[in-house]
Structure 1
Amino acid sequence: MNVAQFIPVIAAIGPIFAIISVAGVMGWVITTWMRIRHGYPLDGQWGQAIYPKTDQESVERIRLLSQENGQLRAEIGSIKDRLANVERIVTDGAHSLDREIESLRTKAN
């Protein structure tokens, strides 16, 4: 067979092959993008997780951040309580504040 005989066959099959190849690459790109967007780990060539990495340093960092988050939440709670007391004092009339102070003095004696 002559090479010239294969040219019409290649011309007929070439675009189909190109469309299938582009569709496969685009499917891979979209799948990877969706996995990243939704937080799924990316897999390497042999199935090992590439991202996010779960090494000991990351686990320790997450633990420390969680602990700090708890401390900050507790501090915010105490600040809210203090602010509520300050708001109560500011919005109360001077007469009722004086009455409360006097009642505390009489209880202390």
Structure 2
Amino acid sequence: MNPFEMVVAIVAIASIASVIRAKYGVVRRGRGEELIQRGPDPEAERLRAEVKALKDRVAVLERLATDGSNALEREFEKLRDRD
């Protein structure tokens, strides 16, 4: 094996190793490597629930804005009872 082939082989091995580490979530920090767990993020789930609640409220407000006055009063009462 000539030196050029050896350099290409080393670069290829290093590239493949870094792709495999990235795929499995291994991150280098300091002297060692640690595995990052990929799973549901509680903060993201909380934000999704909050966005869903806000979308529901906006839908109610849009319906209130387009309905007649009697329907408006009924919806306000429903909202007061729910909160």
Using structure 1 for the length normalisation, give the TM-score. Answer: 0.46
| Equivalent AA in structure 1 for residue 43 of structure 2 | E
Q: Give, in angstroms, the shift of residue 39 of structure 1.
A: 4.2
CA RMSD of aligned residues (A): 3.5
Cα displacement (A) at 1:88: 0.9
User: Structure 1 regions of 5+ residues with no counterpart?
Assistant: 1-15, 43-48
- Structure 2: state its 5+ residue gaps: 78-83
Higher relative contact order, chain-length normalized (CA < 8 Å, sep 6+) = 2
Instruction: Return the letter of the residue paired with 1:70.
Output: E
Matched, 1:71 2:56: no
What CA deviation, in whole Å up to 9, does each residue of 1:18-73 have, x standing for no partner? 1231122121232134225534537xxxxxx72xx14xxx66xx78x822222222
More strand by share: 2
Aligned length: 71
Q: Determine the C-alpha separation between the residues in 2 that align with 1:40 and 1:83.
A: 39
Q: Under a length normalisation based on structure 2, what TM-score does the superposition of the two structures give?
A: 0.56
SS of match in other structure, 1:38: helix
1:86 aligns with 2:61: yes
Bigger radius of gyration among the two: 1
User: Structure 1 residues 17 and 33, CA, compared in 2 at 3 Å: closer, same or farther?
Assistant: same
